[in-house]
């Protein structure tokens, strides 16, 4: 995570203010994310982005985010 903001900025020329990750809650509790101060924000429906017929094809995943900037809300809404 230390160099992620700088690497992203160098490659994409856009600021990075928030990182998201997905945890298979049928197998893991997300304990390491919680210990590293990530924020659990919800759960997916279990549908993959390749599934065009809106069917559940995989187990739902927990969605975790980690703010990289103190004003990430403002950055994401502008």
How high is the pLDDT of residue 57? Answer: 72
| pLDDT tens-digit profile, the chain (78 residues) | 778 989 999 999 988 999 999 999 989 999 999 999 999 999 988 777 777 777 767 888 999 999 998 888 898 887
How high is the pLDDT of residue 2? Answer: 79
Give the three-state DSSP class for 33: helix
Residue 4 forms part of a structural domain:
no
Residue 8 forms part of a structural domain:
no
How high is the pLDDT of residue 1? Answer: 79
Residue 12 forms part of a structural domain:
no
Cβ atoms of residues 29 and 18 within 8 Å: no
Residue 25 forms part of a structural domain:
yes
pTM of the model: 0.81
Residue 6 forms part of a structural domain:
no
CA-to-CA dists, residue 49 to 23, 34, 56, angstroms: 16, 26, 11
* H or E stretch covering 66: strand 61-67
Cβ atoms of residues 42 and 63 within 8 Å: yes
Residue 52 forms part of a structural domain:
yes
> Residue 43 is part of which domain span?
17-77
| Total domains present in the chain | 1
């Amino acid at each position: 995570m230390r160099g992620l903001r700088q690497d992203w900025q160098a490659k994409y020329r856009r600021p990075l203010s928030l990182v998201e990750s997905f945890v298979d809650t049928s197998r893991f509790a997300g304990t390491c994310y919680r210990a590293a101060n990530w924020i659990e924000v919800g759960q997916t429906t279990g549908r993959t982005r390749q599934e065009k017929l809106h069917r559940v094809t995989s187990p739902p995943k927990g969605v975790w985010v980690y703010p990289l900037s103190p004003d990430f809300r403002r950055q994401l809404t502008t």
